[in-house]
Amino acid sequence: MRIGELAERAKTSTRTLRYYESRGLLPARRDANGYRAYDEEDLRLLRQIRTLRDFGFELEETRPFVDCLRAGHPSGDACPASLAVYRRKLAELDGLIGRLTDVRDQVARQLAGAEAGAEAGAAPKCEMTG
């Protein structure tokens, strides 16, 4: 299939496909006429990339999954390098969740103080800016 059809089937743009090709994530094959040529396996690679990107993975983080599929594995997460990326991403997410929980707790304390001050008729003091 040509680049336009692949882009349509993958629900992306031809520009994105050319970018992936320049980054080595998508093979750069040409047919006899010089047109880019793709197959169902390329669509499978793109779907893997898209799923991971939707989960918040950076483009370069998708490389081990793509390499795993290219190596003939049934799924992109069947290789040790892919599992290592999953572990790093989970650690990153755990860190973000921890920071968000801290911010949430601070906002909840600020709200409680503001509500208590409002009930007493005093102007609330913002402790988060200090």
| Interval 55-62 mean pLDDT | 96
11 conformational bin, left if phi > 0, alpha if psi -120 to 50, beta if neither: left
- Joined together, the tokens standing for residue 128 give 């988060």
Span 14-27, average pLDDT: 95
Q: pTM score, two decimals?
A: 0.78
> Which phi and psi angles does 27 have, rounded to 5°?
-65, 145
Looking at the chain, the whole-number percentage of residues with pLDDT higher than 70 is 93
pLDDT band at 71 (very low <50, low <70, confident <90, very high): very high
Is the pLDDT at 38 greater than 70? The verdict is: yes
Class of domain 3-120: mainly alpha
The DSSP H or E segment spanning 112 is helix 80-120
Distance between CA atoms of 103 and 63, rounded to whole angstroms?
Answer: 33
pLDDT digits (tens, 9 = 90+) for 78-115: 999 999 999 999 999 999 999 999 999 999 999 999 99
Quick one: pLDDT band at residue 13, thresholds 50, 70, 90? very high
pLDDT over 60 at 129, yes or no: no
